[in-house]
Amino acid sequence: MPIKTSLRSHLTRFSEEKCSIEERLSEICDHDNFAFRDFLLHTICIALIRSYTHEIEWSRQLFHMMSTFDLKKGQGVSGFREAMVRLYDHLKSQHLIQSYGPICKRSPDTPMDTDDDRSLSFFFVTTFQSQKQCDAAYDYINRPGSEAARIHAMMMSKVADNAVFSCWSEMAEA
C-alpha cells in the first residue's frame, strides 16, 4: 500500500474511531510497511521538536530589527533578495542572527497604515537571541575587509539612502 494511502487510512480511522494516540501508534508500529512506519515516526519526531522549539522561543525575550527601505532606481527585488539571503545565511552560520523573514512590500492603501512620515516600499525583520547578539552582528558586519562587510556593501549598494532600521525587544510576561 503506498505511504500516502496508508497514512490517509490510518488518520481517517483515527478520527472516525476516536481511539487514543497510543492505540493508533501501537497499531501503526506493528504495521508491516516499514517505510510507512519510519516515515510516520520521523514525522512525529519533527512535530515534537517543532513543538519543543516553539515553547523555547516563546519562553525568552527575543530582539528584533525591522529594515525598511526603498531600492535605487534600476534595482530589482530579486537582486536585493539574492544579496540579502547571502548575507543573512552567512550571519546565521556564524550564530550572529536567530532568523530573518521574507522581504515584504508595504501596502499604504489601507486605513491601518498610518505612517505618513515615510513612504518606504519594502521591509523585512531580523530576529536575534538578544541585543548582545544584534550588537555582535553589527560589529562583525562593520569589520573592515571581512566577508560580511563585503556582502553587506553589495546588498546596501542596491538600497536608496533613505533606509530606516528600528530595533525592539520583547517584554517578559507580567
Beta-bridged to residue 26, according to DSSP, are: none
> How many domains is the chain built from?
2
- Domain check: are 68 and 51 in the same one? no
- Domain check: are 44 and 102 in the same one? no
Is this model's pTM higher than 0.85 or not? no
pLDDT at position 33: 54
In a domain, 174, yes or no: no
- Domain check: are 80 and 49 in the same one? no
pLDDT at position 8: 52
Confidence check: pLDDT of 17 > 60:
no
pLDDT at position 10: 53
Of 59, 74, 94, the position where a domain reaches its end is 59
